[in-house]
Structure 1
Amino acid sequence: MRKSKDREKTFWYFPTRAKNDTARHWLTLKDHFVHEVGKLKVISFGNDDVVVVNEESLKIHFFESEQEAMDFCLDVYPETKEMKQGELF
């Protein structure tokens, strides 16, 4: 089985508070940010450990590669786009 799916399954059992604290901590690691797409931050820890964190909902997704993470970000971009006052779409 893929390493990222194992991590996702293990992380599912964490208490909600631990998940949120982990997401907040990872959002402070600006030197590990690879990409920022709207409210989504792609964080790489090396060794093909790539995580996507939604800074608003604090949801975490694990991926095998940076390309998979970027594909995910682009798929959900309309839902995570930061709207500014005065913009229509």
Structure 2
Amino acid sequence: ALSVGGPNIHKGYFKLLDNYAKDKEFKVQYEFGPGRTGTDADNVQIAGSGVPTLLLSLPQMFMHTPVEVVQISDVACTARLLAGFFISLKGGESL
């Protein structure tokens, strides 16, 4: 899985996901940027009064081409990470 951090990513949720991934021994790559992520997450985070946003992506090659490539095991791992993380949220987490 590829977890993205930056000014348009909710720091509390980012930390919760990071802690969950480490606790469950998921292998996560991190990408940090000083500005926009290039995804809809940017607009969601700042729309209206804002929506806490987290961005989790798949490691890939040749994005936006006819030969975009992902590793199937990365897809499965990212799905397990995302599902497990959502299930772990109980509501009322301190962010």
Both structures adopt the same fold (TM-score exceeding 0.5): no
Query: Hey, which of these two has a bigger chunk of helix by percent?
Result: 1
Q: TM-score, normalized by length of structure 1?
A: 0.28
Larger RCO, structures 1/2 (Cα 8 Å, 6+ apart): 2
